[in-house]
Structure 1
Amino acid sequence: MLLQLRNSALCLVAAMVVATSAVAIGSTASAAAPKSGAPEAAIAGTKDPAPPPHIDPWIPSLCATAEFTSAYSDPPRDLVAIGTITRCQQYIPDSKFAVAVYRPGQVPVVYTSQLQRYQADQLTLRLDFFVGNEPVSDGVGVCALSTRHHRVGCARLSHGPDGAIVLEPIPVDHPLVQIAVTVIYDGTQDLPDPGCAHCV
């Protein structure tokens, strides 16, 4: 009788040990497994997916026209070209234009922060465009663009015999300006007001 009780107690202890081990193993497995809501990339240890590309902020007004009529040297800002740009008769909301400088041997660049909006209540806008340094002897081109590939008015700036700045209108397919601009997205949506001589 006593021996049977002793054997029963030993069996009970063994059963408790086995149950405790099973619980411990189950707890460890649960801690190692990822949460059901964890992203797949985090589980695999991969990097987050790249963000989607930004939306092109340059909305064109394809039938726009432009011309440059004069230029002057402004010592604090060097050289400024004067002109006008006229949008399409039908206003395109949030449509924009740009002005680019074409220097021999260089690729023209337009930053997205330099894009300017057409105005709904103004068909024609005045352009006071800061060109930069004085033109080189070969001349410098300046064009208004309705898109990165579409020039709508161009001029050539050079020095006259007396050293004065000379502005000469040129065709939009002139060799000096017949090159596509490089548009650089600089992370800003703030656009300058038209007619600002030093903000384009």
Structure 2
Amino acid sequence: MPAQSVARPVSNRTRDAILQAAYEEFTEHGPAGARVDRIATLAGCNKQRIYAYFKSKENLFAEVLREAHRRLGEAVPLPTDRAGLDEYVGAVFDFHLRDPSMVRLIAWEGLTFGDSPLPWRDERQAFYEDKIAALQRALGVDNAPAVAALLITLIGISSWPFVMPQQRNLLFIELRPEVTTLEALRASLNAFGRASIEAVASAPDDFPPGAARLLQG
């Protein structure tokens, strides 16, 4: 007999619908501009059900951010070998090109909280520490600060053209449209990412870059 699909419980479907509606609302309007009543309308439920699941709009935004990181991690897992790492920036670039919601949500988070401690700081820090440890293993490098700097470099290289699409267009795409295409930008950024990886892999103790030469006089 063919396998029968198992229906998802109504409570889970409702929660999923709320989360998807919130994902769209926060991506478009940010945590300050998002409205719980619009989320409820899009999800097909009432506001009380949203608060029953998530307690507050801040908690709902945190859950949306978790979902955004989950989607990125599932679509573009951090490679475990050097060959994969050398193509990582291009792969993340492709992800953001397909779906810029992740960078919009992170930008909204930065605009909302700035330098203030994030309410979910410990959770996010643990997430990044796991990424740093995985990157250390992939490179065979023990210098955590150098690898942390590398990780933020790779994130910045791959995501900034989508955080600030106007700069991407004005500085590159519209400069010489017959040459400066998105494909050319992707190739250039991936090359910069590969060079950054090589710099850390080949001289892991030289952090900050050039410190070894300064110490040697």
* TM-score bin, normalised by smaller chain: under 0.3
Which structure shows the higher strand fraction?
1
Q: Which has the larger radius of gyration?
A: 1
Q: What's the TM-score once normalised by structure 1's chain length?
A: 0.18
Q: Which has the higher helix share?
A: 2
